[in-house]
Chain A
Amino acid sequence: MSNDIRSSHRYTPKFLIVLRYILAILVTLIMVFPIYWMVITSLKTPEELLLPVPTLWPKKFAWHNYRDVLKMAPFGQYIYNTIVMTLGIMALQLFTGIFAAYGFSHGRFKGQNVLFLVVLGALMIPIQVIFVPIYVMVAKLNWINTFAGLILPNAVSAYFIFMLRQSFKSVDKSYIEAARVDGMGRIGVIFNVLVPMCKPTVLTVTIITFIDGWNSYFWPKMVTTKPFRRTLALGVQELRRSYAGIETWNYNQIMAGATMSIIPIVILFIFLQKYIISGVSKAAMK
C-alpha cells in the first residue's frame, strides 16, 4: 500500500515499534475472537458448554453437532433459498443498474436530470420506513413465501446505479462513438466497451450486492413465514428454540449453524477483499 507517514521520515525508537506490534496483535486477536469462539463452541459437548470456567479448546470434539443441526432444521433448503434469492437480486440489480447507468451517463433524452433525481431520491427512502406498505402490496399479490416476494422489491439499487453511472461517465465519449461507427448497437457498446472498461467498479458493486443479499435479514423476515422459504440468516434464528420461555441451552448447535452460514462469505472475503476494499474507498470519495 503506502508508506507509513509518521515513521518514514524520522527515526522511531525501537520500543515504540515493538509496542505497535503488540497492540496491533492484541486488537487483531480481540477482533477474531468472536469468530474463534463461534467455531470452538460449535464443537463442544453440552456438558462442556456449561462448565463454570469456559474452556478455550474443546476437550472432546463433538463433530456430530453439525450433523444434528442438519437434522434439526432444513439447512439444505435454507442454503438453496439463500442462493436463489441472492443470485436473483444480483442478476436483476445488474440488469437494471447497468442499463440505467448507461442511460444516465451516455444517453441523451428529455427529462434526464429530473429522472436521475428520482433515482437519487430513492436513496432517501429506506426500506425501514416503507416496509409496511410494501408488505401489504406483496401480501395482496400472494407473494408471501415466494421468491418473487423475496427478490422483486430488491430489483433495483439506487446506490448501484449511482456508483456505476459515475464510473461510466469517466469513459470518454470517443470510445463509444468509435464503437457506434463500427456498427455496434447500444447493447454492444454497453457490454463490449463500457462494462469491460469499468470492470473494477462492476465487480465491486456485484460483490457487495452478493454479500448484502446473502446477509439480508430485514426483508426476508417480513416476507417469509414458513421454513421452506426461509433464508440462512433467519434459519440460524430457528435453531434458538425456546420452550415456554425457558432459555435454550443448545448454543453448540446454534454456533454450528452460525459457522455453516458464514463460510461462503468468509471465503469470498478472503479471495475478493481487494475489490471490497476498493469499494469502501470509492464510496467515500463521492
Chain B
Amino acid sequence: MIQTKKEIRPAETGASKTVNYRRRESIKDFMCVVPALVFLIIFVYYPIVHLFKISFTDWNLIRDSYKYVGLKNYKWLFKGSGFDVWLASLKVTLRYTIAEIVITIVGGLLLALLFNHTSKAFNFMRPIVFMPKYIAVATSGVVFIWILHKDYGVLNQALKSLGLKPLPWLVSEKTALKGVLMLTAWRVMGYSMMLYISAMNSISVDYYEAADLDGANGFKKFWYITLPLLSPMTIFILVTTFIASMKVFQSIDVMTGGGPYNATNVMVFWIYSLAFEEFRVDRAAVVSIIFFLILLACTALTLKISEKSVNYDA
C-alpha cells in the first residue's frame, strides 16, 4: 500500500525516485527499532548514568534535597566503615556463586548421564526433574523454609531417622547459606541436565563406535569422548550460571533476609537494604557501581577464556 502511493508520485526522474524511495524505506526500517531503543534508553542507559550521579551526592531517601559531596561515598566504601561489610558481602556472594556453579555443572552432568535414555518412563520423568526451574522462587522459597525447619522440618526428621545429625539450616550462621543452596540445587540441576542431554545427543555415534573397536570401557568413553566434547556446553553453563548467581536476591530475601548476622548478606541484598531500609541511596549507588564493574570484568574474563578454550566439533 505504502509503495503504491509512492509509485503514483509524478515528475521525478528515475534516479532521484529510487534515492528518495530508498531513503524513505530506510527511515521506516529505522522507525521499527525506535520503540525498543527509546525504552532501553529510558530504563537502562539513563539509569546507569543517573547511578553515577547519585554516587557523588549525599542523598538520603527521607530528605528531598541533596548536595554533591565528591568521593565521600567511595571513601566510605573503601576506607571507611563500609569496607568490612562490603568484603564480607562479596565473600558470601562468591561462595554462593561457586557453589551454584559446581552444583549446576556436576549435578546436571550426573543427571544427564542418568536420564539420557529413551523409554516411556524416562520421557515422563525428565520434565518433572526439569520443572522446578519454572516455579517462582518466592513460592518454592517458602516451601523450603518449611522443609528445612529446625524442629518440625521434614528434612531434619528424615536425617534423624537415618541416624544422621539434624542441622539448624536457616537459623544458624554456619548453615544458612547451605539451606539456601538446597533450594538452588533443586531448581537448577534439572535445567542443566536438559542442556547437557541436548549436547550429548549431538555427539556423533561414530566416536563411540571407534572407541568400541579399540575396546574402551564405559568410563574411558565418558572421560575421553563425552566430557571433552561437552566442554563448549560446560563453558556456556559456567558463564550463564556465573552471571545469574552473582545477582542472587530472591531466595535470600524470602528465606533468610540476609541473616542470621549477615551470614547470607549477598551483594544485591545489601544494595537493597542500603537503599530501602537505611534509605542511603547514595551508598547504595556506590555499591551498585562497584558491583557492576566487578560483573563486567568477570563477564569479559569468562568470555575471553571461553573463546580461547578448544572448540571441538560437537
Residue numbers of A with Cβ under 8 A of B are: 1-10, 20-21, 23-25, 27-28, 31-32, 34-35, 37-38, 41, 49-50, 53-54, 95-97, 99-100, 102-104, 107-110, 115, 118-119, 122, 124-126, 128-137, 152-153, 155-156, 158, 161, 180, 183, 185-186, 211, 214-215, 217-218, 221-222, 232-234, 236-237, 240, 251, 254-255, 258, 261-262, 265-266, 269, 273, 276-277, 280-281, 284
A185 CA to B3 CA in the complex, in Å? 7
Contact: B250 with A27, CB < 8 Å? no
Determine which of A38, A126, A186 lies in contact with B247 in the assembled complex, contact meaning CB atoms within 8 Å: A126
Contact: B136 with A32, CB < 8 Å? no
Tell me whether chain A's interface is mostly helix, strand or loop, or mixed.
helix
Residue numbers of B with Cβ under 8 A of A are: 1-4, 25-33, 35-37, 39-40, 43-48, 50-51, 54, 111, 114-118, 121-123, 125, 127-132, 134-140, 142-144, 146-147, 152, 154, 157, 186, 190-191, 194-195, 198-201, 203, 205, 208-209, 212, 218, 221, 233, 236, 243, 247, 249-250, 253-254, 268, 271-272, 275-276, 281, 284-285, 288, 291-292, 295-296, 299
A281 CA to B194 CA in the complex, in Å? 8
6 extra interface residue pairs, beta carbon distance < 8 Å, beyond A37-B146, A262-B136? A1-B118, A24-B125, A38-B139, A122-B45, A152-B43, A222-B276
Contact: A34 with B36, CB < 8 Å? no
A23 CA to B129 CA in the complex, in Å? 13
Q: How far is the CB of A286 from chain B (nearest CB, A)?
A: 9
B127: which A residues are within 8 A, CB to CB? Answer: 269, 273, 277
Instruction: Please judge, given known A-B contacts A8-B205, A103-B30, A215-B137, whether A183 and B152 are in contact too, CB under 8 Å.
Output: no
Contact: A137 with B50, CB < 8 Å? yes
Q: How far is the CB of A112 from chain B (nearest CB, A)?
A: 8
Determine which of A37, A96, A183 lies in contact with B3 in the assembled complex, contact meaning CB atoms within 8 Å: A183
A266 CA to B37 CA in the complex, in Å? 34
13 example contacts (A-B, Cβ-Cβ < 8 A) are as follows A6-B208, A6-B218, A9-B205, A24-B122, A100-B37, A107-B33, A109-B30, A124-B295, A129-B292, A131-B272, A133-B47, A236-B139, A273-B127
Contact: A255 with B146, CB < 8 Å? yes
Closest 3 CB pairs of A and B: A107-B29, A103-B32, A215-B136
Tell me whether chain B's interface is mostly helix, strand or loop, or mixed.
helix
A135: which B residues are within 8 A, CB to CB? Answer: 275
Q: How far is the CB of A148 from chain B (nearest CB, A)?
A: 12
A41: which B residues are within 8 A, CB to CB? Answer: 146
In the complex, which residue of chain B has the Cβ closest to the Cβ of A260? B139
A221: which B residues are within 8 A, CB to CB? Answer: 253
A265: which B residues are within 8 A, CB to CB? Answer: 134-136
In the complex, which residue of chain B has the Cβ closest to the Cβ of A19? B114
A126 CA to B249 CA in the complex, in Å? 13
A2: which B residues are within 8 A, CB to CB? Answer: 118, 201
Instruction: Please judge, given known A-B contacts A24-B125, A183-B1, whether A217 and B44 are in contact too, CB under 8 Å.
Output: no
In the complex, which residue of chain A has the Cβ closest to the Cβ of B124? A28
Contact: B154 with A24, CB < 8 Å? no
Contact: A137 with B47, CB < 8 Å? yes
A220 CA to B2 CA in the complex, in Å? 42
Contact: B131 with A269, CB < 8 Å? yes
Q: How far is the CB of B131 from chain A (nearest CB, A)?
A: 6
Contact: A218 with B208, CB < 8 Å? no
Contact: A54 with B154, CB < 8 Å? yes
A284 CA to B235 CA in the complex, in Å? 10
Contact: B275 with A261, CB < 8 Å? no
Q: How far is the CB of A89 from chain B (nearest CB, A)?
A: 12
Determine which of B32, B190, B276 lies in contact with A102 in the assembled complex, contact meaning CB atoms within 8 Å: B32
Contact: B198 with A240, CB < 8 Å? no
A136 CA to B3 CA in the complex, in Å? 45
A236 CA to B141 CA in the complex, in Å? 10
Contact: B33 with A133, CB < 8 Å? no
In the complex, which residue of chain A has the Cβ closest to the Cβ of B138? A233
Q: Which of B50, B198, B288 has the most CB of A within 10 A?
A: B198
A155: which B residues are within 8 A, CB to CB? Answer: 39, 43
A284: which B residues are within 8 A, CB to CB? Answer: 195, 198-199, 233, 236
A34 CA to B32 CA in the complex, in Å? 45
A8: which B residues are within 8 A, CB to CB? Answer: 205
Determine which of B123, B130, B221, B291 lies in contact with A1 in the assembled complex, contact meaning CB atoms within 8 Å: B123
A102 CA to B141 CA in the complex, in Å? 39
In the complex, which residue of chain B has the Cβ closest to the Cβ of A23? B114
Q: How far is the CB of A81 from chain B (nearest CB, A)?
A: 14
Q: How far is the CB of A193 from chain B (nearest CB, A)?
A: 15
A115: which B residues are within 8 A, CB to CB? Answer: 33, 37
Contact: B40 with A34, CB < 8 Å? no
A124 CA to B14 CA in the complex, in Å? 46
Q: How far is the CB of A125 from chain B (nearest CB, A)?
A: 5
